[in-house]
Structure 1
């Protein structure tokens, strides 16, 4: 998300860019912050290599999804409202648990997606997502009340994340199941402040989220950071954030693909909903070897990102006809591509040769995150067979990898393809790549993590 973003020093944004909302503290030792659409985020916290190792060996604390509003849908038709928008079945859903809802536009592309908590029979909260439901509400004509609230949303992920949170709260959290939610009180924070803890995350390993009123964000962030120092907690910035999505197998709107809401002219030109969209992601030129005018190269369907299993064709929802047609004959799916080392080194070598160099790599992600408009063509024997998203350097594996949608008959591990690296109209470097396991991270997933193997984080008396 460029356009309205500004890199700033540890003292905060200031200058001509104006003040940003602080949902994290201004640590003197943090080298760079990023002003993303008016909200201050850490760009690089404790060094990108340490941050990249954190969710495999220790844990991280991230605020990258903070600043986005929490949507509350309530009323007699709230459940029907979400049902009309989502590919998921929202009726088999226990109160007090979470569900990942996926919403489409009429053409079957993912318009928005996000975690949603069911608070009661008629009340739901939706996080870190596009305002697609609000845009669609008038046309659906249902009895539902929609409220917005500014919240902090912090992610704590990695094998020591449970110990960090137990040290923070001074109690055991072993009973909190995957997708479960519970209310907590944090020592040093006013007990009347409503803060919730959820066992969910995108790193591909044990992970949790903390959510609460935005104005308490800096204090909560620092409390977690102080509690986590003993357990190797790192502050994960935007520079490294998309690495965990790529390794962990979680495609994300605004990072690995563009929301299909951007393909809706009414949404983009809406005076409220379209006003906050980054111009670089809706106007172009969009980066990558795919034609910048080809917006569909940057969009994804549920089957293309391996979420087709969530679709339940037992209810009417926007985009159902297009999704049913795809379900009958899925064309592509997402795989991990491991890039050829020699070809990657050729890109670096070109920087030291005369003439036009190849498009350079920024470590650990290119383009620098968020970068949902990036798309490189993938070919096999000269024929286009897919689209690759952000190029990621995995310091853990010492490899360059990416998520790519490829034709389903080429999705077998070991299949060799070519990524057309560069920007449309510029010098293109064909980089050989091999289809690998998805997800790429070979560690226990959140839902399968054996919590009994983790020592208690509760401090001894």
Structure 2
């Protein structure tokens, strides 16, 4: 795909939407209402980046930042979140999970507490804004356009130290600090947070959207000595699947999308253009069964976040589930011979099986995909999109499965294909969750990495 409508100039490259237009990047695509890199440096290299090097990605940019302030701001977040928000240090991040009345995840996202009564909510839908009026709380709510760039992998710290010219070793997991980026006016507030979804050492760089292309390019140039990779949307969900981070719009459908009033509300169109989110329902699960594509906190292994010490939307349903959780998320490793049968069918007469698009099928974002999982002919779970892991050379997926079958080594059958079409029964084995067997972000010893600061 050629890009011929650069909208502003950034250092070293024209800008397309939230990122620079590099002549060697093969494909850009309109996602969430703005242009993003679809494939940057090749999906195989991108798939290896967070294990062996580092990447920069803009995939969360283009979604507005929501702000909540005033004496009732904390009360609003408490009424909507399963988390306890009372013991929350200023300057720290928290992953807030919000439900609908039936206990399904309607929205989730990273939130920062900036002061006693002010918060910022990132890369999430305007669910809190939509629900706020019905709660009768006087809260000042704002929305602004920001960039969010993820820098992840074992060399990410060195790259960011090269960028800023200072040691960043003191930044703890979930912590935040302000940084200065070369070429950007010092008065522009740009922050660095040690957080990510790759399952390895990872950071986010955030700031006003108009400075996004210049900051992206500055990080990329700082990482050239470290062979930094530009990660596109095509490969993005691989890190969620390997690293054990279920994600709305990718591995499950947020219940907010099943709420007609929310989808038809002007807020939805302003924050998340509907035509750019999800697509046609796919997978072997009946498309009329929307619940097959929804998840509860316990089903995605987030039940531990729920604190039943406050009243929140969906509490009654979640509390009932907490008493007897039915399912949890595991990784399924697909049988190689059965996967090869899918490819072989493309060269045989008659109806072929649904083909695979590497590295993910359907191509993300695709939270509306659901495949049936059975054991001895009985349905026992739902699998999300298929992921080819070039690192492990295996086909894997996240599957919400009956708890009694969640032990590693359990063999099940995944029904691959679209409902009403030819279905391939693929044998699969329950494996560890998360599947990536490298130190998690919070456990990484930063002192084990050489400094990226250049001595003068």
Q: TM-score, normalised by structure 1?
A: 0.95
The equivalent residue for 1:278 is: 274
Give structure 1 stretches of 5+ with no counterpart: 1-7, 15-19
Give me the whole-angstrom Cα distance separating, in 2, the residues matched to 1:100 and 1:322.
21
CA RMSD in angstroms comes to 1.4
1:98 paired with 2:83, answer: no
1:219 alignment partner, one of 204, 214, 218: 214
The residue number in structure 2 matching 1:126 is 121
Q: 1:139-168: CA deviations, max 9, x gaps?
A: 011121000000000000000000000000
Deviation of the 1:37 alpha carbon = 3.2
**Which one of the candidate residues 419, 422, 430 is aligned to 2:425?**
430
Contact 2:196/2:202 (CA < 8 Å) preserved in 1? yes
Per the alignment, residue 9 of structure 1 pairs with 2
- Superposed CA deviations along residues 215-262 of structure 1, whole A, max 9, x for unmatched, are 000000000000001112100000000000000000000000111101
> In the alignment, which residue of structure 2 is the partner of 1:452?
447
CA distance in 2, matches of 1:362, 1:356: 18
- Contact kept in structure 2, 1:105 and 1:111, CA below 8 Å: yes
- Verify the 8 A CA contact 1:24 1:41 in the aligned structure 2: yes
Asked if the contact 1:73–1:123 (Cα under 8 Å) also holds between the matched residues in 2, the reply is yes
SS of residue in 2 equivalent to 1:168: helix
Aligned mates of 1:285, 1:63 — CA distance in 2? 25
How far is 1:115 from its partner? 0.2
2:284, 2:418 within 8 Å by CA — same for their partners in 1?
Answer: yes
Contact map agreement 1:239 1:369 (CA 8 A) in 2: yes
Q: Distance in 2 between matches of 1:279 and 1:206?
A: 33
Q: After the TM superposition, which parts of structure 1 deviate over 6 Å for at least 4 consecutive aligned residues?
A: none
Separation (CA, whole Å) in 1 of partners of 2:399 and 2:118: 37
**Alpha-carbon shift at residue 271 of structure 1 (Å):** 3.4
Separation of aligned partners in 1, 2:100 and 2:338: 38
Residue 142 of structure 1 aligns to a residue whose secondary structure is coil
Q: After the TM superposition, which residues 203-242 of structure 1 pair with which residues of structure 2 at under 5 Å, given as runs?
A: 203-242=198-237
Q: For the structure 1 residues 280 and 287, does the alpha-carbon distance in structure 2 shift closer, same or farther, using more than 3 Å as the test? A: farther
Secondary structure class of the residue paired with 1:202: coil
Alignment correspondent of 2:248 = 253
Which stretch shifts more, 334-343 or 184-193? 184-193
1:368 aligns with 2:363: yes
Per the alignment, residue 174 of structure 1 pairs with: 169
Report Cα offsets for 1:353-375 as digits up to 9, x if no partner. Answer: 00000000000000001111000
How far apart, in 1, do the equivalents of 2:31 and 2:155 lie?
A: 29
C-alpha separation between the residues in 2 aligned to 1:431 and 1:281? Answer: 29
- For residue 395 of structure 2, the aligned residue among 397, 400, 416 is 400
Rounded Cα–Cα distance in structure 2 between residues aligned with 1:399 and 1:365: 12
Aligned partner of 1:185 in structure 2 is 180
Report Cα offsets for 1:124-149 as digits up to 9, x if no partner: 00000010000001101112100000
Q: CA deviation at 1:281?
A: 6.3
Q: Which among 105, 113, 122 is matched to residue 110 of structure 1?
A: 105
Distance 1:351 1:280 in 2: 30
- CA distance in 2 between counterparts of 1:304 and 1:90 reads 22
Partner of residue 58, structure 2: 63
Q: Secondary structure at the match of 2:412?
A: strand
- CA deviation after TM superposition for structure 1 residue 11, in Å: 3.6
Deviations 1:360-414 (A, max 9, x none): 0000000001111000000001110000001000000000000000000000000
- Write the distance in 2 (CA, Å) between the matches of 1:377 and 1:279: 26
CA contact (8 A) 1:108 1:319 kept: yes
Partners of 1:132 and 1:272 lie apart in 2 by 9
Assess if the C-alpha contact under 8 Å between 2:268 and 2:274 holds in 1.
Answer: no
* 8 A contact 2:130–2:267 mirrored in 1: no
* CA positional deviation for 1:266: 1.4
- Counterpart secondary structure, 2:299: coil
Q: Which residue is 1:195 aligned to?
A: 190
Which SS does the other structure have where 1:368 is aligned? Answer: coil
Judged with a 3 Å threshold, the aligned counterparts in structure 2 of structure 1 residues 227 and 274 are, in CA distance, closer, same or farther, namely closer
Alpha-carbon spacing, 1:91–1:403, altered in 2? closer, same or farther (3 Å) = same
Name the SS for the 2:48 alignment partner.
helix
Aligned pair partner of 2:337 in 311, 334, 342? 342
* Offset, 1:38: 2.1
CA distance 1:328–1:432, shift in 2 (3 Å) = same
SS of 2:349's equivalent in the other structure is coil
Q: 8 Å contact 2:33–2:273 — kept in the other structure?
A: no
Residue 39, structure 1, aligned to residue 34, structure 2: yes
Deviation at 1:21, TM superposition (A): 6.2
| In 2: Cα distance, 1:280 partner to 1:24 partner | 18
Q: Distance in 2 between matches of 1:431 and 1:12?
A: 44
Matched residue of 2:77: which SS? Answer: helix
| Structure 2 portions without partners, runs of 5+ | 8-14
